[in-house]
Amino acid sequence: MRKITDNIRWRDLDADMSADGRLVFSSNREDNPRVDLNRTSEDFNIHLIERDGREPKKIVASRDRELKPRFSPNGRDIAIIRSGTRHRLLVAGADGKGERVLAEADELYDFSWSPDGRRIALARRDGEKSGILLVSADNSEPPLQLKNVNQALRIVSARWSPDGGKIAYIVHPLNGESRQLWVRHLDSGREQRISPENLQIQQPPDWSADGKRLLYAALADYRFRYDESTHKKVYEGAMHIYLSDLEGNHRQLTSREALHKSPVFSPDGRRIAFLYAPELDSRQLSLRTMDRDGGNENEWFGSVTRNSNLRWVQ
């Protein structure tokens, strides 16, 4: 059996919103969709929706895949990962023009703009080495290798703190040990493990507005087994939401043995939005909110796909 078409349905991914309300996202949507019996792949390109809500406009396109578009803090530029034989980090104007390459590697996992918009922190793998690279958004300064780890580890996420002084990153050991959340203090070079032992950190964390706390989801007591009677994998344990500060204090905010993922702070820091499902392998999730202490939980929307991400805007 082989797939003969990829355009039965559109898929819109990796949405980001500027401060003034423009929306940018990656999508495989096409201007003139048709069945192509010889087609075995699909293109993901970058689309923009203006504040007035007009139809999306394709602004960056190639025969490779353009993924994870993110506005610069001032909304004038968009950074993009182009996935081909090698991965490239691109920056273009918000209209898609003036495209320039800032970095390339075998794999680019994640990136984050600095609060002043001058630099980008990039989690990458090149050959057997993985690390964090700092690049200048206008190519005016040479790249700085901030961290480089050995072939037994991967750094798969890099997120700049709102105060500009720290970068949070996730270390993924290849030997099956737990995925860990760390913070690097840029002024001193000090590195600090944030996540408790025996947790498997999943998605990139969300910083509090003051840069003193980190919100993240992690698997706890996770295991799976194969059920011979149903011929399916059975997943056990839970994915919980945690809040940690830089003083070594941790709080688990959820308690049900269920899936809680993609937590983000509200703009005022008093509430948290997240995705929920009763089972770890659920394909459909619901959007929920709760107070920062874990109380007053509410469900707002009950049909969210598993690979969705959240951003709380004012």
- Print pLDDT tens along the chain (314 aa): 333 334 456 788 899 999 999 999 999 887 665 555 444 456 889 999 998 878 889 999 988 999 999 999 999 999 999 998 999 999 999 999 999 999 999 999 999 999 999 999 999 999 988 999 999 999 999 999 998 888 889 999 999 999 999 999 999 998 878 899 999 999 999 999 999 988 999 899 999 999 999 999 999 876 665 556 665 655 567 999 999 999 999 999 999 889 999 999 999 999 999 999 998 888 899 999 999 999 999 999 998 988 888 988 87
Contacts of 55 (CB under 8 A, 6+ apart): 49
Rg (CA), the chain: 20
Give the phi and the psi of residue 159 in degrees, each rounded to 5: -130, 120
Q: Which two tokens stand for residue 6?
A: 């990829």
Place of tokens 């820091």: 269
pLDDT at 1: 34
Distances (CA, A) of 246 to 42, 168, 180, 229: 43, 11, 15, 47
pLDDT at 314: 72
87-119: string of b/e by CB count within 10 Å (b at 16+)?
A: bbbbbbebebeeeeebbbbeebbbbbbbeebeb
Whether the CB-CB separation of 113 and 107 falls below 8 Å is answered with no
pLDDT at 224: 60
Q: Does the reported pTM lie above 0.85?
A: yes
Residue 12 burial (CB < 10 Å; 0-12/13-18/19+)? middle
pLDDT at 175: 84
Give the phi and the psi of residue 179 in degrees, each rounded to 5: -75, 130
Place of tokens 């459909």: 284
d(CA 120, CA 4): 39
Q: Which two tokens stand for residue 61?
A: 């396109």
Contacts of 139 (CB under 8 A, 6+ apart): 100, 102
Q: Which two tokens stand for residue 283?
A: 């394909």
